[in-house]
Amino acid sequence: MLALLVALFAGAWLRYPGTAPVKLPAGDCNADLWQHVYLPARLKVLEPCTAVDGRVVGMRRESDGDLHIALDPDRKSVLNLINATHNHRYLVVEIICEHPTAGGDATKACEEFNSQVVIPKAGDRVRVTGVYVTDRDNGWNEIHPVSRLEVLGP
């Protein structure tokens, strides 16, 4: 029984290794966005600049001013095991300071800054360029902050 569990876990770990699909030059991402990330220490940078293609499944506005996009990535290798088990096999994509914060500590991060990133619609196919990180609070991988989002089609 233990051997079966170990084999299942190893298989899941191999299926969802959590690796960036592409390494882009740092200049392709806007490093100045880090000034506006709320609690940046909670994010462990895995790749300073990458791009991920996929389909927008849903969106949710958070109290810290960020827009969370659930992305069904074309390459599942970008997901880690936590993305697969607790986030429905979606990659979290965060457009920072997309809307006013609900107040509190997050307000300072977005002060005098409004995101210029294109906002997609649910169902759109997109290419997201930004920093590939692990959110230490949740354990899943994300693109956060997003430098650019291109709508590729419906």
Distance CA 75, CA 105 (A): 35
Confidence of residue 4 (pLDDT cuts 50, 70, 90): very low
Q: Give the CATH superfamily of 2-153.
A: Nucleic acid-binding proteins (2.40.50.140)
- pLDDT tens readout for residues 14-59: 556 788 888 999 999 999 999 999 999 999 999 999 999 999 999 9
In the predicted structure, residue 7 carries a pLDDT above the cut 50: no
- pLDDT tens readout for residues 109-154: 999 898 999 999 999 999 999 999 999 999 999 999 999 999 998 8
Confidence of residue 86 (pLDDT cuts 50, 70, 90): confident
pLDDT value, residue 30: 97
What is the pTM (predicted TM-score) of this model?
A: 0.89
Distance CA 104, CA 51 (A): 32
Residue 34 and residue 28 in contact, taking contact as beta carbons nearer than 8 Å: no
Amino acid (1-letter code) at residue 145: P
pLDDT value, residue 124: 98
pLDDT value, residue 141: 96
β-strand partners of 59: 69
DSSP H or E stretch at residue 113: none
